[in-house]
Every structure is written in structure tokens, then in C-alpha cells.
Structure 1
């Protein structure tokens, strides 16, 4: 005989009273199946609610010429939407291992649904979850939604280096014309070859110098003023244009004194202008290169984040996925979030659905950022626990109320967004994160919260086969 506590472990029967559970036990039929047995085929009408008490089942949904598989472990229940709406079962249900089940006939199901409000509420919640998953194609919608949100942030991140690159190129176009004039002036004033060699060495020795803080700005301004006066005394035309460039590259009057003594005034003027233009152009090229590299880094991170042009499964280092996620979420981090990485680099590579797993990291980081209202610290820690890789996201926010934590991974759960609870990710976001980790990768995801912060813990098996891509819940 089935134990009442075992029935209570099934989600839809969780809130039933002992009397109702005894009635349920009296109305269900227990049976066993062997691994490989088919319980229902896609398109068939179910004659009752199937309850998985022990073992493992899988649903296989055929769509667009491909099979989409999802695995389920006991205890679980199958066919709730089909019973409520009298519709065919949307997938083929097969036993993966020898399993023990029970069937609640349709007549008894409808009696329980109508007369028992706790069961009716749970069945309605399962129904709502299933319909939404069906309409949105499950993980595809979550991925598109996440990428859509990231696109705005990425556009902002790309705009800054792109603008810097444009400014640098525009400035370089004008400086090239001035450099040509300076080079012609060197020749026109017959600057000696030895002096030209000294100018080349001077340019090669000096790079941009950093002046940090208020004291640095004042120091730089004074240096520019002194050098400008020194150049003016030696009849250099427009010393206010050359002095800032020379000072920015660490060139002082001592570096130019020998040239000033060896050259005539016109020659020295041409030499100073040429040095300033070359150094300025070199700085602009460096700035343009930094902007281009930043754009390249962002694009590469986004490509890696989405696993573009790759198969659905990959063997990855989970740290790369976390880092890619942080890169594409830089706009979120800039709001005042400090991230600490505490990685165990000895963790082996995992065979996973990389882009989907990155959606989990995105959801958890978003929740942490929103819980802290954009200001605080997040620690991302990885470690090994037996045969599992563990990833923890720890924030120092105000925490989540205990009554909310227990429902975080339920579909469409909402508590009216109480204080200190993240507004996004409570419903569909964390529910899909749960499905990716648990149903797709055979792992676990948990949340612990207190007044000092919240920890989301994801455990992933180090060695296992994972289910094929795309899933729609059928239970």
C-alpha cells in the first residue's frame, strides 16, 4: 500500500489533508513498469492522472522533424493539463528505469478537482505553467528575452568605444594634414640629418604620461605653462598647441635644450611642431586601437556567451561562461556592483548546453543586482563537492523573506513584490533557471537567504549525459 507521506511528496497533493490523502489512496491503482516501456504516446488521450512514485520517466516530443526529450525523477505527476482540458498528451512518455507508478482515473480526478480546493489550485497552477511553456517554446523565449535585455546594455557599452574610435579617427584626419606641413617645413628649413635623427630618437623614447587626481592636473597645467613660455622665448609659433602634447608625453625643456642650441629658430620651430604632431597622432592611434579592441572584446564575449555557430552541447570551462556573462552585463555592474571571483580552477570541463547555462548565470546575477538596488557586492564562488561542480552567487543585499524563498522556483510565483524582494526573476525567470539546471542538466539549484544577504547555489554533475535541446513541460 502506498504511504500517505509518499503521496504528500507529490507537488499537486502537497496541501491535501490526511482524509483526502486516504481517499486518494483508495481511488488510485498502483502498477510497475520496466525500463523502455511506453506509457503514453504523443497524441493519445490519457485515461487518468499518472503518479510517478519511484523511478525515472522521460517525455519525447516530436516537432519539426526533431525529438525533444526531458527527464523526470520521482516523485512527480503527469497529465494534469490533459485531464483538466481533455486534450491529447503532447509527448511520448517512456520509462527510463524500472519504475513504480499509480493511476488516478479520470472520474476520480474530476471529483477531486471540483471538491478539493487545495488540489484545484495546484492543478490550475500546473495548467498555467504548462500552457505558458507551450506558447513560449520554453527556453527559447527565456533566451530571447535575456538577449533582448542585454542588447540595450551592449549597445551602450559599444557606444563608448565606438565614439572614442570615431573621435580619434576624425582628429587623426586633421592631424595628418598638419603633420605633412611639419614634415615639409623640416625639409624646407634644411634641418640637418643629425638633428632629424635626434628627433626620431626623442619620439621613440617618450610615450603618454599619466597625471592622476587633482594634484596631477595642477602639476600638468604648471608644466604646460612653463614649457609654453620656454618655447615662446625661442620663437616657436603657437607654443600653446605644442606644449600640452609634449608635456603629456613627458618631454620637458631639458629634452629640447640641445636641439634649441644647435638649430636656427625656424628650424627649431619646424622640429618642435613635427615632434608634437607625431606624438599626438601616435596617441590618437593608440586610443583608436583601444576602442577597436574594446569593441572586439565585447563582440567576442557576446559570441562566446551565446555559443554562436556551435552545436547545442559543448564541453566547457564553466568559469569562461560566467566571465562572458559578466562581460555582457557590464552595464549592470557599473551601477555600483563590486564582483569578487573566487574560482576553483581545478574543476574539470563539463558537457553542458552552454548558452542555456549562461541564461542561468544571467538570471541569478540580475536577481542579485535588483535585490541590492544596484549597489553592493556579489561573490561568485566555484568549488567541487564530491561528483558535482558547485557555483554560488552570494550577495550582501537585505535578504528575501523565508515565506518567499520556498516559492522562488515555482512558475509565475509572485508575492506582490514585497520590500527587499527582487521584482524580476521571481516568476518565469527562476522557474526556467530551475528547469535548465534540474531537468536539462540533472543538477540542483537552491536559495538561502537571511538579513545579511542571499546565496543561490547551483550544483552540476561532473560526468553525465544531458537531454537534447528545447523542452516543453508536459506535466
Structure 2
């Protein structure tokens, strides 16, 4: 800021010409005239700068000024005016030490501009004395809005968590039910296998043949573990071949046994070896014993797959929540994206295909992992909602054009964001969803996490059939 010595005093009558001060009485105008200074700033000069201590309340007297915010090193202008009486600077001085007194934006002189500067340390307390009720209302509005934002944001997180929990429960239920079902069947099959073994080993087969039978059983287990993948036609032909061979050897229930034997990779030469090892008299009992062996192996494979699926889901939930990790850490963005996709799987309709184009050579980056997962959740959920059950969700990672940031692009093939809506999508409480389906905080929260907390950027481009949100995250931790 310019020092007061470089400015000039204004008469109370001059101040009354400004719409901001026209309703003040003579005593109040005298107070302003005694403490403020009119200061001229040349075109291109910064009247005050974002982030610096807010020492002055600034009122435009003449010329044109702009207000801008810093977004990852770039000044983004959001207002420009030449109206005398427009103001900026220490606009929260009336709150005193209840909030950090810093400039929330930067004011630039677009042309040579004259502004009236009032010291914030005196202006703030005096305004509270002049307008006590108004100040109480403003203070209540300020802290009420902040509290409301926090409460609604927390509600947004809880709703998202509830939705994800429901999806995770559904995902866990399928493999868990499969494991329970396979275990129940396995118990019956093991009991049947013991019974058949007793029939085979009741003295009718000598030790040498029994040893050969056990070797065939081990071979059957290996065949079941490495059974070839067949088409439906190939499976049907194989079952016909096995069924015919069993019929020819008078094995009862041949067509019930054939599907199990084929699923276990059994072929006619192996059955012939079994017949040679047991003899025709005991072939049926031996075949059923082998069928039980194969079926138990297949069931154990199902249980193993189900348990592995459960373990994978639990690990994804752990990765998503980051419960066992520090809030700030070095992370691989692909781990976070994959965990989020797994958590959201139940919410993605079958008509939407998910495509991932990952640059696996990307280095790890410093980040707040759990909060980035919230960003991915918001962006993916919005993309899925926009496609109304049908389309393609594409997630692409890479370095940005500067090489200083990791770029994560989430694209959908929905109808796009209308041009008149696009400027408002990051505003808090703004939503295009029907009442009750969105709080309007998802993108606002995402913006604050990416821009404010990670010093990155979030950008959007949209046209019908192609909407892209691009998140840029710095490779190195900000100072």
C-alpha cells in the first residue's frame, strides 16, 4: 500500500458524493476526512496484493480498477469497474482478530486510478460503534454461513460415505454368499467322497491298485486346477464324448457325471487309465470318487476366488479411506483412482463402460490422499450422473504441458454443461440436479481441496458428448 504521506486529504463534502458515504452524518464524515488519504496509483500498479496483511479499506474515487485472485501462480480477474465508490481491501476489518486480517484478492489499477485509503485498524472498530446492529447482523451472517458451509459439507461427506458403504456392502455380499454356498456344497461332497472311498477300499482292490488310484486322484486334482477354458460348443461336445464312454462301460448316471468331469479337464484316455487301475467291477465307484474329488477341488477354487475378492475389496476400502496412513504423504495417483473406482463400482450402471488410460511412468506426488479420493468421487459421480445410465467414462493420467504437474482427466460422453451454467459450477450450493439429489457442494469442495490445499488447479471443458474435468497436482510440495 502507498503510505499516507504520499496522498492528499479530502473534504467531508467530497466524501458525501460517494454512494458509500452519502448517508453518513457530518461527524462521521469528519472522522473519515481526518483519517483517510486520497492516493493515486499509475496504470498497471497493484493497489494491494492478495495474502498480505490487510491494512487499509480502499474506495475508488476515479479511474478503472480490477479485482483478481491467484490460482496456481496465475491472476484470474473476477471483477472490473470504474464506478466511484466501489470498494475493496480490508472488508472484514469489522471482525477484528476473529479472522486472519489478510487481503482476499488483489486490486490492480487498469488506468491511472485515485483511491481513498482508510487505516483498517481504526476503521474496523469505528464501524462497529457507528452501526452496532448492522455489524452484529453481518458478523452473524459471516460466521453463520461459514458454519452452514461446514455442516453441509460434512453432510455431503456423510451422504457420500453412506452411499459408498451401501455399494461396498453389496460388493462384499456377492463373494461372501458364493463362499458360504460353496462351503455348504463342499461339506456334502467330502462326505460322499469318504463313503465312496470306503466302498473302494473294502478289500476288493489290492494295495497296488489302490496306490495307482490315488495317483490318478492327484492327477485329477492337477487337471481340475488347470482345466482349459472351453466355449459352450466345445464343452457340450466334450460332455457328449465323456457321457458316451461312461455309458459304454455301464456307469450309471453318466450324463450327471459328465459335466463335472469335463469341468475338471478329464478326457477319455484318463478314464481308460482309471478303468485299468480299478477293473470294470469297481469302475463306477471309482469314477464317482474321482468326480467328488474334482468337484471338491473346483469348490475350493470358488472359495479361494471369493475370499480373494473380499480381500481385494477390503484393501480397496482401506486405500480409499486412508485410515492407517498419515493425512499428508507421497502417493501414486493410480492407486487412489483404482480404489475409488472399486468403491463406486456398484453405482456405475452396466450401460456405462469405464476406460483407464494411465501413464504408469508418472512419479509419486505429495498429497492429502483421503481428500483427493473425495475429489475423484465427486468428479466420477457427476460424470456418471450426467450420462444417465449409458456412455463411456474415461480417466486419463499424464504430465501437463509444463512438466511441473500431474494431470488427471475425467471425461464423460454426457450432454455437456450449458455455456450459461459453466461459469457457476464451482459456486457453493449451485447444482443442476433436482431438489434432494445434490447439495451443490461437490465441485466447491473439490476446488478447495485441489486449489487451496494442494496449490493445484481444476479446469473444465465441455461440449455435447465430451465433458472433461482436468485436475493438475504439483509434483513437488509447495513451500
Moved more, 359-368 or 346-355: 346-355
Per-residue deviation, 1:260: 2.3
Per-residue deviation, 1:158: 0.8
Find the counterpart in structure 2 of residue 315 from structure 1: 330
Find the counterpart in structure 2 of residue 201 from structure 1: 219
> Contact (CA 8 Å) 1:37, 1:95: kept in 2 or not?
yes
Q: Kindly tell me: are residues 230 and 383 of structure 1, through their superposed partners in 2, closer, same or farther at Cα, counting changes over 3 Å?
A: closer
Alignment RMSD (CA, Å): 4.5
Find the counterpart in structure 1 of residue 429 from structure 2: 412
Q: Kindly tell me: are residues 436 and 126 of structure 1, through their superposed partners in 2, closer, same or farther at Cα, counting changes over 3 Å?
A: farther
Find the counterpart in structure 2 of residue 132 from structure 1: 148
Among 400, 410, 419, the residue aligned to 2:417:
400
TM-score norm. by structure 2 comes to 0.71
Per-residue deviation, 1:335: 2.7
Per-residue deviation, 1:379: 1.6
> Contact (CA 8 Å) 1:186, 1:267: kept in 2 or not?
yes
TM-score norm. by structure 1 comes to 0.72
Q: Is residue 443 of structure 2 the alignment partner of residue 430 of structure 1?
A: yes
> Contact (CA 8 Å) 1:367, 1:424: kept in 2 or not?
no
What SS does structure 2 have at the residue aligned with 1:403?
A: coil
Q: How does 1:361-372 map to 2 (within 5 A)?
A: 361-372=376-387
Find the counterpart in structure 1 of residue 308 from structure 2: 293
> Contact (CA 8 Å) 2:217, 2:293: kept in 1 or not?
no
2 CA distance for matches of 1:262 and 1:54?
Answer: 89
Q: How does 1:23-102 map to 2 (within 5 A)?
A: 90-93=98-101
Deviation per CA, 1:374-420: give whole Å up to 9, x if none: 211122112212222211111111111011111001001135759xx
Kindly name which structure, 1 or 2, has the bigger radius of gyration based on alpha carbons: 2
Per-residue deviation, 1:349: 1.4
Q: How does 1:68-467 map to 2 (within 5 A)?
A: 90-93=98-101, 129-136=145-152, 138=153, 140-188=154-202, 189-190=204-205, 192=209, 193-206=211-224, 207-212=226-231, 216=232, 219-261=234-276, 263-385=278-400, 386=402, 387-415=404-432, 417=434, 427-465=440-478
Q: Kindly tell me: are residues 55 and 340 of structure 1, through their superposed partners in 2, closer, same or farther at Cα, counting changes over 3 Å?
A: closer
What SS does structure 2 have at the residue aligned with 1:398?
A: coil
Q: Kindly tell me: are residues 379 and 359 of structure 1, through their superposed partners in 2, closer, same or farther at Cα, counting changes over 3 Å?
A: same
Q: Kindly tell me: are residues 225 and 161 of structure 1, through their superposed partners in 2, closer, same or farther at Cα, counting changes over 3 Å?
A: same
Q: Kindly tell me: are residues 95 and 399 of structure 1, through their superposed partners in 2, closer, same or farther at Cα, counting changes over 3 Å?
A: closer
> Contact (CA 8 Å) 2:200, 2:286: kept in 1 or not?
yes
Any gaps of 5 or more consecutive residues in structure 1? 3-18, 40-46, 57-71, 115-119, 467-475
2 CA distance for matches of 1:348 and 1:354?
Answer: 15
2 CA distance for matches of 1:231 and 1:311?
Answer: 63
Q: Kindly tell me: are residues 129 and 393 of structure 1, through their superposed partners in 2, closer, same or farther at Cα, counting changes over 3 Å?
A: farther
Aligned length: 406
Find the counterpart in structure 1 of residue 43 from structure 2: none
What SS does structure 2 have at the residue aligned with 1:379?
A: strand
1 CA distance for matches of 2:470 and 2:283?
Answer: 68
Per-residue deviation, 1:441: 1.0
Per-residue deviation, 1:89: 6.0
1 CA distance for matches of 2:219 and 2:298?
Answer: 17
> Contact (CA 8 Å) 1:316, 1:352: kept in 2 or not?
yes
> Contact (CA 8 Å) 1:199, 1:271: kept in 2 or not?
no
1 CA distance for matches of 2:57 and 2:91?
Answer: 9
Find the counterpart in structure 2 of residue 61 from structure 1: none
**Relative CO higher for 1 or 2, CA cutoff 8 Å, sep ≥ 6?**
1
Deviation per CA, 1:15-47: give whole Å up to 9, x if none: xxxx97999xx99988869999697xxxxxxx9
Per-residue deviation, 1:337: 1.8
2 CA distance for matches of 1:308 and 1:247?
Answer: 46
Any gaps of 5 or more consecutive residues in structure 2? 3-17, 23-28, 40-46, 61-65, 80-87, 109-116
